[in-house]
Amino acid sequence: MAIRLVTYEHSEALPNLPGKNVFHSVSLFRILERTPGFSPFMLVAFNGDRPIGKLLCVVRKSWFISKCIVYDTGEYFDADLRHDLIFDELLSYFTNRNKDNFSIIEFRNLSESLFGYRYFRQNGYFPIRRLRVINSIHHSTIDKWMGASRKRQIQCGLRNGAVMGVADTEEQVRNLFRMLKKYYSSKVFKYFPAIDFFTTLLEQRDGSDEIGKIFTVSYNGRIIGGSCCLFSDDTVYMLFSGGMRKSYPSLYPGVLAVWNAMLYSREKGYSHFEFIDAGLPFKKYGYRDFILRFGGKQLSTRRWYRLKWRWLNRIFEKIYV
């Protein structure tokens, strides 16, 4: 079988593509290309004229560093073809074309940690272990494994007057954006996108094509917390969340920002809720401790990296392989 590979730099040029993975969807492509600081492109594999796989690549540039991020390892449509062989073609093509274009290439949030291991190594990537935290939300009691202290915080926040909602106006989104931007400004290794990402996501309407939601926590009409999630097949992914915990300690806005999203996801019939970044496997990591108290399960995974500088890449290969 001869696989034909095509790169699309504009969403308008894309052919009709199937799929359920939001991280390789045309909808996310459109949102990102309208967000300053992002330059997405899509690789599509064809068997003849029929698409059999796709890989959405997201480029971020800051100062003199350019980073290309790929979430998971693509999406594939033909059950009769070996997906790893299609990925091999996509990865080799992608790497050969871009190995000198970006300072860092990163494949992250792999749904199967061992998928493509041999092909990553053949193309000069090195793995770094990471952690995932996933909550099962399809049970009759969503807080089945939640700690007692977390339950008390949720009850206390709601009893003291905090109100959970879904952003449905641009004004709400802008108010939440200002709060979250200030919250993330102190987190050196956390990237926070421009407001265009959130306003474009707001344009997504309820229905089968809904790919995400923005959630709010308010008190006396003021937004004091919130979160942003993407929906993919039966899983909800939390991208960003935060709250004014120092200004409103008795309302637990950061806790309610997560709980609000989990409740909505459960009501919509999703089975799993995953936090997009649970960090490196350090014993002490405040954010991971925070999200684990919602009752999720911690799993081990890896991210694959390739650096533009060959000598430095070889050093990391010797360290991590």
State the first-to-last Cα distance of the chain, in angstroms, to the nearest integer. Answer: 32
What stretches of 3-37 adopt beta strand conformation (E)?
Answer: 3-8
Distance CA 106, CA 115 (A): 15
pLDDT for 139 equals 80
Q: Domain 133-299 - what CATH class?
A: alpha beta
Distance CA 125, CA 101 (A): 15
Q: Token match 């970006």: residue?
A: 102
pLDDT for 101 equals 92
What is the per-residue pLDDT across 171-203, written as a single tens digit (0 to 9) for each?
A: 999 999 999 999 888 776 678 999 999 999 998
**Predicted TM-score of the model (pTM):** 0.92
Token representation of residue 273: 């809720």
pLDDT for 188 equals 63
Q: Which sequence spans correspond to the domains of the chain?
A: 3-123, 133-299
**What are the φ and ψ backbone dihedral angles of 45, each rounded to 5 degrees?**
-100, 135
What is the per-residue pLDDT across 119-159, written as a single tens digit (0 to 9) for each?
A: 999 999 999 998 889 999 988 788 878 889 999 999 999 99
Distance CA 191, CA 198 (A): 14
pLDDT for 206 equals 42
What percent of the chain stands above pLDDT 90?
A: 71
Alpha carbons within 13 A on the beta-carbon side of 28: 23
230, 237 Cβ separation under 8 angstroms: yes
3-123 and 133-299 in the same fold: yes
pLDDT for 190 equals 78
Distance CA 58, CA 68 (A): 5
Three-class SS state of 97 = helix
Q: Domain 3-123 - what CATH class?
A: alpha beta
Distance CA 28, CA 306 (A): 24
225, 214 Cβ separation under 8 angstroms: no
| 189: CB partners within 8 A, 6+ apart | none
- Which residues of the chain are modeled with pLDDT < 50? 206-207
